[in-house]
Structures are given as structure tokens and as C-alpha cells.
């Protein structure tokens, strides 16, 4: 009788673990409840070494193609259709003829289903002090696993190739660590929620 009880308990435990694994593995997609967004980066830095550091506030507006996004690296999520700059300490020009900029899914961090970070890349084109940059910019969006809200946006340090008269070959592009950005539903102060389905 004792052996039978142990076998029953082991069987129930295995079934529970299997159900848990299947439930986690089946979360193949992200679900977003609205497709229009506004992302604001309070202090982006364009560090050209001996040429100095240009800082600027940048706001991106756009839309996502679908309310359901597959967790597949390289998937085209949507477009940035408008870019606004402000409080720049040097000349910054957004090359609006290159809009819309493509936004692609690049991965996530954290343990499913409680992911804490979503990675995307944005194909951007702009010039700073006459130095032209056209590159895929990586951005990171921190997610609160309890609410599902995107709570912070940042741009990790990355090297960009640039061209132009007296420009260096490469510059460092990043968001200032103490000035994280934010993402909201376009036209509101409502945070965007991302859930797994």
C-alpha cells in the first residue's frame, strides 16, 4: 500500500511539472493591447571622442503591425513614423526622408513567463554636427513582470560607423544611465502592457 501511495504521489508530481513546463513553453507570442506608441529618451548621447559629446532629448512615435508578436528574432514589429528632437547641445538632424524606420524584435531577458527585458532594434538615420549615421540602434525596454507594463526604456552603449568631412570613423551612441526613457500609448500617459500568450 505504501509503495502504491508513493507511486501515486510521484505520478501526480510528474504530471504537475509537465503541465507547468507545457504552460511555460506554449507562451510563444507577446500580446500588446494597443499598437500606437510614443517612446521618449530623455538624454541620448553621441560621443565622438575628441570631437565632444552631443546630448539630445529624442521622442519616437509609431505603430506596431500586429497586437500579437511572435518571439522570433528579426521579426518586423512595426515602424517609427515620426522623430522629434529637443534640448540638443549641438546640431542634430533627423533624416526624415528615411522614415519610416523599421522596428525589429531581437530577444528578451528573464525567465518565462516573468520576462523583465525586451530587446528591439530600430533602423535609424541622422546626422550630428555633419557626421552621418545610418545604423540599427539597439533599445531595451524594461518590463514589470507583475503588471506587464513597460516601465523604462534605454539605449545601451554601442559603436556606430559615421561618415562626413572631419568625422571620426566610429562614435559611441547611448542613453545617459541616470536619464532612462519611457514608453506610452500614443497621445496618453497610459503605459503599454506586454503579456505572453
* Residue 152: its H or E element: strand 150-154
pLDDT the model gives residue 180: 79
Answer for the pair 159, 137: CB distance below 8 angstroms, yes or no: no
pLDDT the model gives residue 2: 53
C-alpha to C-alpha distance for 86 and 72, rounded to whole angstroms:
34
Give pTM, 2 decimals: 0.81
Residues lower than pLDDT 50 in the chain? 4-26
The CA-based angle 58-62-63, given to 5 degrees, is 150
C-alpha to C-alpha distance for 33 and 35, rounded to whole angstroms:
7
Q: How far is CA 121 from CA 6, 36, 106, in A?
A: 52, 17, 7
pLDDT the model gives residue 32: 83
Evaluated on CA atoms 139, 102, 53, 133, the torsion sign reads positive
Answer for the pair 30, 191: CB distance below 8 angstroms, yes or no: no
Order of strands across the sheet with 194-196?
A: 68-70, 29-32, 194-196
Amino acid at each position: 500500500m505504501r509503495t502504491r501511495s508513493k507511486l501515486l504521489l510521484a505520478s501526480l508530481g510528474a504530471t504537475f511539472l509537465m503541465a507547468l513546463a507545457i504552460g511555460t513553453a506554449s507562451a510563444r507570442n507577446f500580446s500588446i493591447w494597443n499598437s500606437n506608441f510614443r517612446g521618449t529618451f530623455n538624454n541620448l548621447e553621441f560621443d565622438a571622442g575628441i570631437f565632444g559629446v552631443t546630448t539630445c532629448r529624442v521622442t519616437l512615435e509609431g505603430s506596431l503591425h500586429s497586437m500579437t508578436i511572435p518571439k522570433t528574432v528579426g521579426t518586423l514589429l512595426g515602424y517609427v513614423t515620426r522623430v522629434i528632437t529637443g534640448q540638443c547641445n549641438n546640431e542634430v538632424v533627423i533624416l526624415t526622408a528615411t522614415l519610416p524606420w523599421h522596428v525589429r524584435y531581437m530577444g528578451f531577458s528573464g525567465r518565462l513567463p516573468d520576462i523583465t527585458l525586451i530587446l528591439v532594434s530600430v533602423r535609424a538615420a541622422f546626422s550630428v554636427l555633419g557626421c552621418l549615421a545610418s545604423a540599427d540602434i539597439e533599445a531595451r525596454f524594461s518590463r514589470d513582470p507583475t503588471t506587464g507594463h513597460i516601465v523604462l526604456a534605454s539605449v545601451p552603449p554601442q559603436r556606430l560607423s559615421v561618415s562626413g568631412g572631419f568625422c571620426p570613423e566610429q562614435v559611441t551612441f547611448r542613453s545617459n544611465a541616470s536619464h532612462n526613457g519611457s514608453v506610452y500609448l500614443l497621445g496618453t500617459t497610459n503605459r503599454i502592457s506586454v503579456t505572453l500568450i
